[in-house]
Structure 1
Amino acid sequence: MPSPNSSAQRFDLAAWRAAAAAAFGQLTVSTSNPGAFWASLARAAVGEVSLFDMHTAAHQVSRQQTMIGSQDAAFCKLSLQISGQSTMTQDGRTCTLQPGDLALYVTQRPYTLTYPEPQRSLVMHFPEKYLNLSPRQLGNITASPISREHGLGKVAVPLFEQLATNLDELQGPHAPALVHSALNLLVAVLSSELAAKDESPADLLFNQATSYIDSNLGDPELSPQTIANALFISVRHLHSRFAAQDLSVGSYIRTRRLERIRTQLADPNHAHEPIGVISARHGLHDPSHFSRTFKAEYHESPSAYRARLA
Structure 2
Amino acid sequence: MDSTVPDGVTIERASSVTSWSELIRARFVDLQITPHTAPDLRGAVRSRHLGHLQAATVRSAPQTFRRTRPQIAAATADLFAVGVIEHGTGYLEQDGRRCVVADGGFALYDTSRPFTWSLDGVWDMRVYTWPRTGLPFADAELERLTARTIARSSAVGSLVAPMLHRLSADDAPTLSPRNAARLADEMAELAVIAASEAEPGDTRTHDHDHLFQQVREFVEDNLNDPQLDAERIAAEFFVSTRTLHRMFARHDLTVANWIKERRLEACRRALCSRSWENVPIGQIAAHHGISNASFFSRAFATRFGMTPRNFRRQQRAH
TM-score band, normalised by the shorter chain? Answer: 0.5 to 0.7
Unaligned residue ranges in structure 2 (runs of 5+): 6-10, 216-229, 236-240, 264-318
- SS in structure 1 opposite 2:24? helix
Deviations 1:60-82 (A, max 9, x none): 11111111127633421110111
Query: Cα–Cα, structure 1 residues 34 and 83, in superposed 2: closer, same or farther, change >3 Å?
Result: same
Aligned residue identity for 2:59: H
Alignment match, 1:148: 152
Bigger Rg, structure 1 or 2: 2
Q: What is residue 195 of structure 2 aligned with on the other side?
A: 190
- 1:120 aligns with 124
How far apart are 1:202 and its partner, in Å? Answer: 8.7
1:95 corresponds, among 89, 99, 102, to 99
Other structure's SS at 2:80 match: strand
The corresponding residue for 1:161 is 165
Match of residue 66, structure 1, among 66, 70, 73: 70
Q: Spell out, residue by residue over 1:155-186, the C-alpha distance to the aligned partner (whole angstroms, 9 max, x if none).
A: 11111122222476456444334333322322
Query: Cα–Cα, structure 1 residues 180 and 137, in superposed 2: closer, same or farther, change >3 Å?
Result: closer
2:73 match: secondary structure: coil
Calculate the TM-score normalised by the size of structure 1: 0.62
Counterpart of 1:200 (choices 208, 216, 226) is: 208
Deviation at 1:190, TM superposition (A): 3.2
SS at match of 1:148: coil
Question: Structure 1 CA distance, aligned partners of 2:196 and 2:233?
Answer: 14
Partner of 2:299: none
Displacement of 1:98 in angstroms is 0.7
- The reply on whether 1:83 has 2:68 as its aligned counterpart is no
**Map 1:162-181 → 2, pairs under 5 A:** 162-166=166-170, 169-170=173-174, 172-173=176-177, 174-181=179-186
Structure 1 letter corresponding to 2:208: S
Deviations 1:122-168 (A, max 9, x none): 11111335553332221111111101111211111111122222476
Contact 1:5 1:42 survives alignment (8 Å): no
How much identity, in percent, do the aligned residues show? 19
Q: Secondary structure at the residue paired with 1:76?
A: strand
Task: Please say if 1:28 is aligned against 2:36.
Answer: no
Q: Tell me, what secondary structure is at the counterpart of 2:21?
A: helix
Partner in structure 1 of residue 14 of structure 2: 11
Q: 1:131 to 1:175 in 2, by over 3 A?
A: closer
Contact 2:145-2:192 within 8 A present in 1 as well? no
Q: Find the residue that maps to 1:73 and give its secondary structure.
A: coil
Q: CA deviation at 1:34?
A: 3.3
The whole-number CA distance in structure 1 between the counterparts of 2:97 and 2:55 is: 25
**How many matched pairs?**
230
CA separation of 1:10 and 1:74: change in aligned 2, threshold 3 A: closer
Name the SS of the counterpart of 2:160 in structure 1: helix
The CA deviation string for residues 258-281 of structure 1, in whole angstroms up to 9 with x for no partner, is: xxxxxxxxxxxxxxxxxxxxxxxx
Q: Distance in 2 between matches of 1:69 and 1:167?
A: 38
Q: Which SS does the other structure have where 1:126 is aligned? A: strand
RMSD over equivalenced CA pairs, Å: 3.7
Matched with 1:239 is 256
Aligned 8 A contact 1:132 1:212 in 2: no
Q: Tell me: CA distance 1:175–1:243, structure 2 relative to 1, closer, same or farther (3 Å).
A: same
8 A contact 1:76–1:106 mirrored in 2: yes
Separation in 2, partners of 1:134, 1:70: 22
Deviations 1:2-30 (A, max 9, x none): x9695333321332211111223221112
CA distance in 2, matches of 1:46, 1:91: 28
Whether the 8 Å CA contact 2:135–2:185 is kept in 1: the answer is no
**2:254 alignment partner AA:** H
